């Protein structure tokens, strides 16, 4: 991997987080006026068409992309992701972009905590300490008197848990399936799973909001393409820390477009969570290079 490719990979990851932030802002706007399930359904229809188009252009076509060693787990991944997206968009509307993402950033800590029982990986005392510190940051964000008395305050934490399980399942199926197969199953199964619910909640959409819906679908496709290219051009350990930039990007949107407020406890708590998450990423790299952990 050349230095130039690594820089380009990092640049694509930064662009990915920016586009994802825009996508979340559009999702919140649409979900404030229309059913969350309908919005997510249309988004996943486009996503499914996008992954099928990519698969058709590759060697083996759709048949190769659909051939998995873990079809049940791949289906579970697709259902889990679309459910997480629905719950997260609801959180954007009820809790706001800033607070939702501040809590959601703890998902790498959940991945580290669950990697032992799910994947059989060893989690040392340093990472367990970082996990504990990170969840202290979550408590700082959800302190009494801010949002802790509202059940909506726990929704982004549920989203983080669901996304962590999705990530762990993705790592597990990667032992037998290439990334293209996982990508195909994610889009197609997600679309199939949400369609019955989305059609039930279908409602007319204004022409201007169809334009926003088109923007949402396009940003989702572009962001996923940038993410794929980022991981192709650079090692995951080099680009993953930059995924945390989505928090400041989405915070700017929340503060400027949706008139959200940035409280001191959210800033401090998010800083603690992000710091703990970066530490766990670093420790994972250390263990991959030296299994003894020294």
Give pLDDT tens digits for 161-197: 898 888 888 888 888 888 888 889 999 999 999 999 9
> Rounded CA gap, 37 and 31, in Å?
9
C-alpha distances in Å from residue 153, one per residue of 5, 99, 237: 40, 8, 31
237, 281 contact by CB (below 8 A): yes
What's the DSSP call for residue 175? T
Identify the residue whose tokens are 């997260």: 88
pLDDT confidence of residue 156: 87
Write the pLDDT tens digit of every residue in 222-246.
887 887 777 777 766 667 777 778 8
Indicate if the pLDDT at residue 275 is higher than 60.
yes
- When comparing pLDDT for 32 and 290, which is higher? 32
pLDDT confidence of residue 28: 93
pTM of structure: 0.83
> Rounded CA gap, 214 and 216, in Å?
5
pLDDT confidence of residue 13: 81
270, 105 contact by CB (below 8 A): yes
């Amino acid at each position: 991997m050349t230095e130039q490719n690594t820089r380009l990979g990092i640049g694509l990851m930064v662009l990915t987080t920016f586009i994802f932030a825009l996508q979340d802002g559009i999702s919140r706007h649409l979900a404030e006026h229309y059913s969350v399930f309908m919005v997510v359904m249309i988004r996943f229809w486009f996503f499914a068409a996008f992954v099928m188009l990519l698969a058709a252009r590759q060697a083996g076509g759709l048949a190769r992309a659909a051939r998995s060693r873990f079809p049940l787990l791949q289906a579970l991944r697709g259902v889990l992701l679309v459910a997480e997206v629905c719950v997260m968009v609801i959180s954007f509307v009820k809790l706001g972009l800033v607070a939702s993402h501040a809590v959601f950033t703890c998902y790498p800590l959940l991945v580290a905590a669950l990697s032992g029982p799910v994947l059989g990986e060893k989690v040392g005392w340093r990472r367990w300490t970082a996990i504990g510190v990170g969840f202290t940051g979550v408590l700082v964000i959800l302190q009494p008197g801010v949002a802790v008395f509202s059940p909506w305050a726990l929704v982004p934490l549920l989203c983080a848990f669901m996304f962590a399980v999705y990530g762990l399942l993705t790592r597990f199926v990667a032992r037998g399936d290439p990334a293209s197969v996982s990508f195909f199953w994610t889009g197609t199964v997600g679309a199939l799973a949400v369609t019955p619910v989305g059609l039930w909640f279908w409602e007319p959409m204004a022409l201007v909001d169809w334009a926003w819906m088109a923007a949402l679908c396009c940003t989702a496709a572009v962001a996923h393409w940038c993410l794929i290219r980022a991981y192709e051009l650079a090692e995951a350990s080099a680009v993953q820390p930059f995924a945390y930039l989505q928090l400041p990007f989405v915070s700017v949107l929340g503060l400027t477009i949706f008139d959200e407020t940035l409280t001191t406890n959210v800033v401090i708590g998010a800083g603690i969570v992000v710091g703990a998450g970066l530490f766990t990423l670093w420790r994972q790299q250390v263990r991959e290079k030296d299994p003894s952990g020294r």
